[in-house]
Each structure stands twice: as C-alpha cells, then as structure tokens.
Structure 1
C-alpha cells in the first residue's frame, strides 16, 4: 500500500542524496513471532539539513539471494500511526534524525525458523545509490515502513 506525500513548504531543505546521509541500525527487537530492526538516518558531518519522504528500498541478504522488503504503511512492530496515510517529510539535521522500521516474521507457515540475513542493502527514498548496513533479521515476509521523524533532545547522545 502506498501513501501520499505530505505537502512541502517551498522553504524546506532539498531532498537528501546518499552522500548526505549516514545510516545505522538500532535493534534488533522481538515480539510474538516477529523480529525488527530500525534504520536510523542521520545527516552526515557538514550537512546542514536535507529531507526524506516515503519508503527506503530494503533488500536483505547478499549476492543472488537478496530478499526485497515489501513497503507497508504500518505493521506489527512499527510504521505510521493508524489513520495516517500521508508520508511525512522528515528533515535530517544535526538535531533531527529519521527512522524506518524493517520487520519480518521469525517463523514460516510450517512453523520453521526463517533464514537470518546478516546485511541490509538500503536505498534512500528517491535515490538510486545503495548503502549496506550489517545487522541480523529474519527474512520471512520482510516489510519496510515509511521514514518518520526523530528529534534529538538537547544533551542526548543518541
């Protein structure tokens, strides 16, 4: 399911390019048959501000065995709040980050453990260059949720 983009103010910063963004991973997290990691998007050193809106493209695994994450507005472990159908425009700056939850089932339909992927290949919304981040996540019914805003509180190191 896709969502609409929220209207942008003409004074908003330009969309982020891959070179302007550092991607890290928080997690993993687990809940009743589900596993998730959170992709954290931060402005690279020297970047004043840029924006993201929509879904990152995410593939789990390496080489020919890549599993593409299905874009979904919300899931069991994250995503947009109920009733929200427009992608927020997320500003990355020294005081603001973005995040996107990637989740999967931990067991398949036969109650067998799902394969674990050790890498995620991530392409920012609207971009073409991929960055690879190392993490571990199950790869059954892999989903990715839209980027949402995170504001860093003064004095916080996260």
Structure 2
C-alpha cells in the first residue's frame, strides 16, 4: 500500500502483523487466508495523524493497493492526512 501526497512524495506502508486497531491475533504469524483471483479480500491499514518532527501532516491525494505477492496495483478512494502508515495481513 502506498499513499501519494500532493507534493508527489510516496509514503510506503510498513507491513506489520498487527497494530493498534487490528491485524492478526497476538501470537499468530501466519495470515489465515489465501487471496484468490476474482474474490474480494480486505486488510487493515492504520496511520497516525501527526507530521514528522512537528511538521504539518502530508496531504494524501491518492492511495494505491495491491494484493499480497502481486504487482497489480489499484487506486482506491482514500485521501486525507496520515503518517506513518501501517498495513496488516489480509484476514478475510
């Protein structure tokens, strides 16, 4: 998952197993599903709303996602302000 700011900066999401709002259960390190072509899936992305070094948050104008182990990137309707960004495994 990448977010692109209004200045063209790309913010790459850190891939983590879990975080503040979700992800895999504690003690689990294997995603429970395999994403199959043509089937819907979702993952949890989270970010904090503060800029680095007390600077303003970057304005996100485009968000791009790709399924695990894929280079087929799709733009989704997710804009706003966020930094740093984390993405957790697909769970359904």
Same fold (TM over 0.5): yes
TM range (shorter): 0.7 to 0.9
> What's the offset of the Cα at 1:90?
4.0
Q: Distance in 2 between matches of 1:64 and 1:113?
A: 16
Q: Distance in 1 between matches of 2:84 and 2:28?
A: 23
SS at match of 1:98: coil
Q: Distance in 2 between matches of 1:65 and 1:133?
A: 17
Aligned residues: 91
Q: Give 2:3's aligned residue.
A: 60
**Aligned partner of 2:21 among 61, 73, 77:** 77
TM-score, length of structure 1 as denominator length: 0.49
Q: Give 1:104's aligned residue.
A: 47
1:128 aligns with 2:80: no
Matches within 5 A, 1:11-22: none
SS at match of 1:119: strand
Q: Distance in 2 between matches of 1:74 and 1:91?
A: 18
Q: Higher Cα Rg: structure 1 or 2? A: 1
Q: Is the 8 A contact 2:61 2:79 kept in 1?
A: yes
Q: Is the 8 A contact 1:122 1:130 kept in 2?
A: yes
Q: Is the 8 A contact 2:51 2:58 kept in 1?
A: no
What is the Cα-based RMSD across aligned positions, in Å? 2.6
Which string of whole-angstrom CA distances, capped at 9 and with x for unpartnered residues, describes residues 27-51 of structure 1?
Answer: xxxxxxxxxxxxxxxxxxxxxxxxx
Query: Unpaired runs of 5+ in structure 2?
Result: none
> What's the offset of the Cα at 1:117?
0.9
